[in-house]
Structure 1
């Protein structure tokens, strides 16, 4: 009997894992970086550069679930919502569960994406939450005068140049911006309440933009459990679970700047600013 079992095991080992029904394959998509950041030298998430990976993950035959690893400090609420919507649409079309794993941060727009998960699993020390909206810029009033530079702005429409950083703020401009933020914030809150439902605990700071560790997020109902990708999947699907990382499409080349693919000085300056902005997003959470 032992010899027969050994022969069976050997024969089984010759079969590729994707054809073996005793091995569960879980596709994994990593979504890392700020969301919707223009340019920059680091990774930036948008529906355009994640859609192909998401579709490939959800198309894996016989996979009972798709794992999404989120590591993002936030960014564009529009791109975050588009990614969220695509994940939910694919999950319903393919009838698969979505397991979201938060690494360093699932904050702001990163947490919005995480809400696409049927379950959210976070590291105890990860950063979660930051359910709010922020706009930041610089004011350069008086700088041009010191430099001897004359600024010329011509508009068709009296509000076309509102919040110009080289002009003093006007109360009515700030009021308009705050109204826009409130509307985006309300949409964000509605998404979280819809997805988390009764799992959310009552806390007056929950939607104020504050952020917490994964451990505290579990207590608040922002996440479902603490853990990591490999350990959780082995616990749920067995020691033989196969993790299949869905990577970027091969042969994808992005060229910026001139026709020779070399960035022009202005392009380098823009990318440097975008990199600083991305760095500032991570720094908000001490990362």
Structure 2
């Protein structure tokens, strides 16, 4: 109840300040430029720490009051800024994602690969709770993939998610009338069941997208045939299983990943670990995932989190849907 009154008072203050001047800035603006802050170290050369957290998408993350850049936009903005700083010798990605859309995952894979090529900087992926499907996909260009002892990874595959509305519409007496040019124009429609031919076409698309994922794993990871076959079932792996299969290179904590990154890039022990944020945090550390104080979080008058899967639109995903159960 106290939280309800606190949020209500906050909303009232927002409305009040919108009506009278001068304006009070309650939240960092997503339009504010990214600024560099040092997490640890005092040397000249730097390691940039970039968090990759949540559903991988190129859609803005909407809150009750604020709108934040998409995950893709945020990561690419940080890579562009890093490219201008010759003191950044390595980028350490802190990955905690079940995956996301096909294209958003592929964009991050491409941007990370291109950054490496343009700068010759080393790239390390440090997996946290999970780096499944698109999270593993974007980690493939890394010079070193390291997982937390309790990480879940894998789910190397594709899923076509197709919400259906026929049952609900029937209960409330609604229907949809469709005129179309081309017999497959409304393929994947939520308003009717798919035909056998449509299911075959959709499965063929899923297979081609899955083949692309597996081909990139072959390119970046030297897996034996049995490990590749096991991985291609799209199962998930614990860190120890992934290490044994050759999907990752090390198991350790985030501090270990920092040490490995310094070693890989030939940096001294006092090399700085830096982050890009829109405002400074007191007592900042490696585990802070935000670039702004609002952090992309949503204000809610009722503390109920609906499964994130309910917000997914029809489409193809590099995603482990079993991980979607609300904001992590």
Q: TM-score, normalised by structure 2?
A: 0.66
Name the structure with the higher helix share: 1
Contact 1:40 1:273 in 2 (8 A): no
Give secondary structure in 1 for the equivalent of 2:231. Answer: coil
The answer for the alignment partner of 1:126 in structure 2 is 151
2:274 is the alignment partner of 1:244: yes
Larger Rg: 1
Name the structure with the higher strand share: 2
Q: Distance between the aligned counterparts of 1:141 and 1:22, measured in 2? A: 62
In the TM superposition, what whole-angstrom CA distance separates every residue of 1:104-144 from its partner, at most 9, and x where no partner exists?
A: 11111111001120110110111111100012233343543
The answer for the alignment partner of 1:34 in structure 2 is 55
Q: Distance between the aligned counterparts of 1:199 and 1:282, measured in 2? A: 21
Of 310, 314, 328, the match for 1:276 = 310
Q: Distance between the aligned counterparts of 1:47 and 1:105, measured in 2? A: 18
Following TM superposition, by how much is the alpha carbon of 1:68 offset from its aligned partner in structure 2, in angstroms? 1.3
The answer for the alignment partner of 1:65 in structure 2 is 90
Residues 96 and 86 (structure 1 numbering): CA distance in 2 closer, same or farther, change over 3 Å? same
Q: Distance between the aligned counterparts of 2:236 and 2:244, measured in 1? A: 13
Following TM superposition, by how much is the alpha carbon of 1:102 offset from its aligned partner in structure 2, in angstroms? 0.8
Residues 226 and 210 (structure 1 numbering): CA distance in 2 closer, same or farther, change over 3 Å? same
Alignment of 1:189-204 (within 5 A): 189-196=214-221, 198=222, 202-203=226-227, 204=229
Q: Distance between the aligned counterparts of 1:33 and 1:51, measured in 2? A: 16
In the TM superposition, what whole-angstrom CA distance separates every residue of 1:219-265 from its partner, at most 9, and x where no partner exists?
A: 111110011332332363454232101236999x9xxxxxxxxxxxx
Contact 2:126 2:257 in 1 (8 A): no
**What is the CA RMSD across the aligned residues, in angstroms?**
3.3
Give secondary structure in 2 for the equivalent of 1:234. Answer: helix
Structure 2: gaps of 5 or more residues: 1-37, 280-290, 295-305, 313-318
Contact 1:103 1:126 in 2 (8 A): yes
Structure 1: gaps of 5 or more residues: 1-16, 254-271
Residues 22 and 50 (structure 1 numbering): CA distance in 2 closer, same or farther, change over 3 Å? closer
In the TM superposition, what whole-angstrom CA distance separates every residue of 1:3-41 from its partner, at most 9, and x where no partner exists?
A: xxxxxxxxxxxxxx9xx9955421111111111264654
Alignment of 1:138-177 (within 5 A): 138-177=163-202
Contact 2:50 2:94 in 1 (8 A): yes
Q: Distance between the aligned counterparts of 2:276 and 2:136, measured in 1? A: 21
Give secondary structure in 2 for the equivalent of 1:116. Answer: coil
The answer for the alignment partner of 2:232 in structure 1 is 207
The answer for the alignment partner of 1:8 in structure 2 is none
Following TM superposition, by how much is the alpha carbon of 1:161 offset from its aligned partner in structure 2, in angstroms? 1.0
Contact 1:131 1:189 in 2 (8 A): yes
Q: TM-score, normalised by structure 1?
A: 0.75
**Higher-RCO chain (CA-CA 8 Å, sequence separation at least 6):** 2
The answer for the alignment partner of 1:263 in structure 2 is none
The answer for the alignment partner of 2:112 in structure 1 is 87
Of 75, 95, 99, the match for 1:50 = 75
